[in-house]
Amino acid sequence: MSRHAVRLHDSAGDAAAIAEPLRASRGFWRDAFRAVRAETERRSAPLSAEDQVVQSMPDASPTKWHRAHVTWFFEQFLLLPFAPSYRSFDERFGFLFNSYYVAAGPRQARPQRGLITRPGVAETTAYRAHVDAAVAELIETTLEPAQVFPIVEIGLHHEQQHQELMLTDLLHAFAQNPTNPAYDPHWRWPHGTRTGATEDELVAGIHVVGHDGASFSFDNERPAHQVLLAPVRASRALVTNGEWLEFMAEGGYATPGLWLSDGWTTVEAQGWNAPGYWQKNDGAWFSRTLGGLRPIDLALPVCHVSYYEADAYARWAGKHLPSEAEWEVAAKAEALDDAFGAVWQWTRSAYSPYPGYRAEAGTLGEYNGKFMVNQMVLRGSSLATPAGHSRKTYRNFFYPSARWQFSGLRLAEFER
* pLDDT of res. 24: 63
Q: Which fold has domain 20-175?
A: Four Helix Bundle (Hemerythrin (Met), subunit A) (1.20.120)
Phi, psi of 363 (to 5 degrees): -60, -35
Q: Assign domain 201-414 to a CATH class.
A: alpha beta
For the chain, the C-alpha Rg in angstroms (whole number) is 22
Phi, psi of 159 (to 5 degrees): -65, -35
- H-run or E-run covering 350: strand 344-350
Please report, for residues 146, 156, 191, 217, 388, the alpha-carbon distance to residue 10 in angstroms, rounded to integers and kept in the order given: 22, 15, 20, 12, 7
Domain ranges within the chain, ordered by starting residue: 20-175, 201-414
The SS3 call for residue 153 is: helix
* pLDDT of res. 367: 83
* pLDDT of res. 264: 98
Residue (of 114, 108, 132) closest to 41 by Cα position: 132
DSSP state letters, 317-334: TT-BPPPHHHHHHHHHTT
* pLDDT of res. 103: 87
Per-position pLDDT tens, the chain of length 416: 332 333 333 333 333 333 344 456 999 999 999 999 999 999 999 999 999 999 999 999 999 999 999 999 999 999 999 999 999 999 999 999 999 898 889 999 999 999 999 999 999 999 999 999 999 999 999 999 999 999 999 999 999 999 999 999 999 999 999 999 999 999 999 988 777 666 788 999 999 999 998 899 999 999 999 999 999 999 999 999 999 999 999 999 999 999 999 999 999 999 999 999 999 999 999 999 999 999 999 999 999 999 999 999 999 999 999 999 999 999 999 999 999 999 999 999 999 999 999 988 888 888 888 999 999 999 999 999 999 999 999 999 999 999 999 999 999 999 97
* pLDDT of res. 214: 82
Q: Where are the beta strands (DSSP E) in 170-239?
A: 201-209, 225-234
Query: 149 near 29, Cβ under 8 Å?
Result: yes
Residue (of 413, 381, 383, 384) closest to 396 by Cα position: 381
* pLDDT of res. 237: 96
| Start-to-end C-alpha separation, the chain | 40
* pLDDT of res. 331: 96
